[in-house]
Structure 1
Amino acid sequence: MRQVETWLVGLGLAQAGGDDLTQGAVALGLVLLALLAGWQGGRRIGPPLTELWHDRVGDGGESVETRICSLVRHGIAAILLAIVAQNYPWGILASIGVGLALGAATAMLVLTLLRAVRLPSWMAWLVAGLVFVAILGRSVGGYEPITSTLDAVGIDVGRRRVSLWSLLTLLLTVVVLLAIVRVINRAIAQALGRARTLDATQRLLIQKLAGIALLVTAFFFGIDALGIDLTTFAVFGGAFGLAIGFGLQKTVGNLIAGIILLMDRSVKPGDVIAVGESFGWVNKIGVRAVSVITREGKEHLIPNEILMTQEVENWSFSDRNVRIAIPVKIAYDSDVELAESLMMRAATESSRVLDTPPSAVWMTAFGDYALEYEVRVWIADPEGGVHNVKADVLKRIWTLFGEHGVKVPVPQRDVRMVVPVENALIPIPAPVTE
């Protein structure tokens, strides 16, 4: 014991004849108790909180749900270790031990929280490392030695000094604000998801407006926290704003168009639309473009401005029912009444065709070689495709026509050949057969 004390005195971690070793042993015991309490809290409190989170939030917070037990464990340990560190004037040896444990627990808490809000791994580890160093430095002598050392490494740019300390402060401020914005955004999304009085479009609009407001607020709060004087950027800001006005007018136009689309609800997620050659159902309305998924599985990104300035067919704007016209031709010598009843039967027996509104069979024209009909049917799920319904009805008509002897004609043309004789056209006589 005496040799250990002599060695610690030589390192400057204890005083000769002092009770640093006793304080160190007591601090070690308290650290172990705090860690044990955190481990037990994670085991006993974590699962009920995880279940409560799952019941209230559902499937929208998987990254948080899987880390609740770790958050509880590190949080309890950090709180207890902070109480231990603040409520007794520990010696240097005990302060180092408590500081190491408190820094590690707090850093793990910060790391788990930042990963829960899906920040990049390198960013989360960097912030956790900075938190660990800051807490350990405060425990062994305060922040002044650390800040002075970091501030000494840098250069002067005009009236401002760019140092490691200012860069770390900037990085930490950005990460903290980004984490707060993500947490609030997620909380707003979860609250809107439980609002039954709002439809999907209204929830999406409120969420996007809230996200924009949060980013703007976080930007100005960060500027104020870093002590940046915006008046120094007045001229640059005016030029930059002018450049944005010319260079990003399409981007800003798409942003405004997207907000208008969400407000007037002319195009909503889930609608079936046709824009030019693109036909499919709206997956989501983004800040810049609308995502439309086609029947082929392709995802078309259509700029919001196009939906505002060009003609758009919305098949499910006010009513999801869509009528499909299927052309059918029958021979002139067919039984018209039988053919019409068979076409009606084929339409009503198709699985996706609605009973209400009822299907209809209409004769539309006397064609060159056939009687022309239209079989008009209604469906309520246009996102499931249109051509497959036509194919199903036509197959049923072909089968029924074959069973009842109704003919589907093919085009027929009479060709007559003539030769010129003394500026007159004389038909060639037909061959005589004996």
Structure 2
Amino acid sequence: MTPGFPALLALIPGDPAIVHPLVALAVAGLIYLIADAVAHILGPLMRRRIRPLGDALAGHLRPILRHLLAGGLLILPTALWPVDSLAHLLLGAALAFAFSALAVHILRSLAIPRWAVVPIALLLFVTVLSSSSGGFAPAAGMLDGVGINLGKRRITLLGLVSMAATCVALFALVRLANRMIGRSITHAHGLDATQKLLAQKLAAIAVIVAAFFIGVDLLAIDLTAFTVFSGALGLAVGFGLQKTFGNLIAGIILLMDRSIKPGDVIVVGDSFGWVNKIGVRAVSVITRDGKEHLIPNENLMTQEVENWSYSDRNVRVRIPVGIGFDSDLKLAQELMLRAAQESPRVLRNPKPNVWLTAFGENRVEHDILVWISDPESGVGSVKSDVLNRLWLLFREHGITIPYPQRVIHAPPGGSRPQ
């Protein structure tokens, strides 16, 4: 403690037992006002300058800055004030509140559940308050004294609390790192959507692996104890998670060779729709009915897949039409082209075309060939629109669509078959 600080406190008039706690409260309140004003200025600035961090904290950046600045500023008066006083206890409580509130906002911004956030905040509050008062060592010793012996190891309450806090902290850091890296990659220039998604997947795997080894080191877990079981465990994981790892590797391969990308329109078996996202285990395909099909990545590697958007988004749609033999063939074909050209989703280039394909039993068969550039919106609506327009044009110009005809031959004499 600074030697001149008690003398400075002695200059304050009035009863120290009453005045000093009020001064401590005023100091804490003033610090919070200053911290809030600075956070109000720094928040938008940091969100613009450090955009991945601002986006990752999801609207909690200003309160995080406020409590962080307040906690940093409260350290000095808490350290300078005499320990054995109510004013010091109030400043220590304000300091503990600042750091526990900081932890709450950080964890909640990372979508950590409340049942994990509240115990961590309470533990941090007690730890900071007792440390500022010089009484953390007895509390830690008491927690360390409560435990049980399992073989050569002793499990204490302090160890369990430390393990839980470390796991939550590592989980929060993994989420924060993934969000920041993901948003940095999303806003990176020079990468297409597939390359960005692949980079995000690889970065997420690297962050999880790094967090695992850091956690093992922090928790002092002896991995040599699992040496005996490593062979059996590896065999069990190999059989049990074979499909999982197969789908993971298949997803990475799909992203690397870019044969299927988010936004592509694909057909896999009976599933037709556009690729919403490529996950670790499955590809999400949204159909025209609004249903989301989750197709395992491995299926896309082993089954035949129609990708309507692989090299070009333009898709040709075939619309069969039949007209009567007594109809004006040239006029009917002109009306077919007109109906196709007037449809709003049909492209002008490549232009629509009409082919005469066959002379059927009772009609002249044609195919109207049109091109569209938005197959994710479905092809049925294009066919329906063209046929509706063609029906009105045929009715207007007297072009007939023949009914199916059947000829029944009766035996001589008009007798009916028995």
TM over 0.5: yes
Equivalent position of 1:46 in the other structure: 40
* 1:45 partner SS: helix
Report if aligned partners of 2:28, 2:94 keep a CA contact under 8 Å in 1: no
The answer (yes or no) to whether the contact 2:325–2:364 under 8 Å persists in 1 is yes
Q: Please list the CA deviations of residues 191-221 of structure 1 after superposition, one character each: whole Å capped at 9, or x if unmatched.
A: 1121121111111111111111111110110
1-structure distance, mates of 2:80, 2:197: 49
- Compare 251-260 and 181-190 and name the one that shifted more: 181-190
Partner of 2:318: 325
Max Rg structure: 1
2:11 maps to: none
What is the aligned partner in structure 2 of residue 223 from structure 1? Answer: 216
Provide the aligned length of Structure 1 versus Structure 2. 402
Equivalent residues of 1:357, 1:378 under 8 A apart: yes
* Counterpart in the other structure of 2:301: 308
Question: What letter is aligned with 2:141?
Answer: S
| Residue 124 of structure 1, CA deviation | 1.4
Aligned to 1:80: 73
Output one character per residue of 1:227-248: Cα deviation in whole Å (capped at 9) or x when no partner.
1111111122322111010111
Unaligned runs of 5+ in 2: 1-14
Q: TM-score, normalised by structure 1?
A: 0.88
Per the TM alignment, residue 88 of structure 1 is displaced from its structure 2 partner at its CA by 5.2
Q: 1:229 to 1:323 in 2, by over 3 A?
A: same
* Structure 2 counterpart of 1:114, one-letter code: L
* Contact 1:147–1:165 (Cα < 8 Å) also in 2: yes
**What is the match of residue 277 of structure 1?**
270
| 1:402 maps onto 2:371 in alignment | no
Counterpart in 1 of 2:4?
none
Are 1:23 and 1:91, in contact at CA under 8 Å, matched by a contact in 2?
A: no
Distance 2:371 2:282 in 1: 31
Deviation at 1:64, TM superposition (A): 2.9
Quote the residue 2:30 is aligned against: 36
Q: Distance in 1 between matches of 2:50 and 2:221?
A: 41
Q: Any idea what the Cα deviations from partners look like across 1:49-87, whole Å, max 9, x if unmatched?
A: 2365268649993x8353223222211211111122234
Secondary structure of 2:272 counterpart:
strand
Asked if structure 2 preserves the Cα contact closer than 8 Å seen for 1:283 and 1:292, the reply is: yes
Offset at residue 160 of structure 1 (A): 1.4
The residue aligned with 1:180 is: 173
Mapped to 2, the partners of 1:60 and 1:238 lie a distance apart of 45
Q: Return closer, same or farther for 1:59/1:315 CA change in 2, 3 Å cut-off.
A: farther
Point out where structure 1 has 5 or more consecutive residues left out of the alignment.
1-20, 419-426
- Quickly say closer, same or farther: Cα 1:47–1:391, change in 2 above 3 A: farther
SS of residue paired to 1:374: strand
Taking the aligned partners of 2:193 and 2:206, their CA distance within structure 1 comes to: 20
Contact 1:117 1:182 (C-alpha < 8 Å) held by counterparts: yes
Q: How does 1:5-404 map to 2 (within 5 A)?
A: 22=16, 25-26=19-20, 29-46=23-40, 49-50=43-44, 53=47, 57=51, 61=55, 64-87=57-80, 90-404=83-397
Alpha-carbon distance change, 324 to 55 in structure 1, aligned in 2, over 3 angstroms:
farther
Match of 2:12 in 1: none
Supply the RMSD in Å over aligned alpha carbons. Answer: 2.2
Letter of the structure 1 residue corresponding to residue 288 of structure 2? R
- CA-to-partner distance for each residue in 1:144-182, whole Å, 9 max, x for gaps? 211111122221111111221111111111111111111
What letter matches 1:284 in structure 2? K
Name whichever of 80-89 and 193-202 sits farther off.
Answer: 80-89
Q: Which letter maps to 1:35?
A: G
Are the equivalent residues in 1 in contact too, given 2:47–2:53 (CA < 8 A)?
A: no
Give 1:306 deviation, angstroms: 0.3
User: What SS does the aligned partner of 2:57 have?
Assistant: helix
Sort the Cα spacing of 1:376 and 1:223 in 2 relative to 1 into closer, same or farther, 3 A: same
Measure how far apart 1:269 and its partner are: 0.6
Identity of aligned residues (%): 51
Listed one character per residue, the Cα deviations across residues 411-434 of structure 1 (whole Å, up to 9, x for unaligned) are 10101133xxxxxxxx33499xxx
Q: 2:19 and 2:158 mapped to 1: Cα distance? A: 35
How far did 1:39 drift?
Answer: 2.6
1:428 maps to 413
Evaluate the alpha carbon distance shift between residue 93 and residue 59 of structure 1 in structure 2; reply closer, same or farther with a 3 A threshold.
Answer: closer
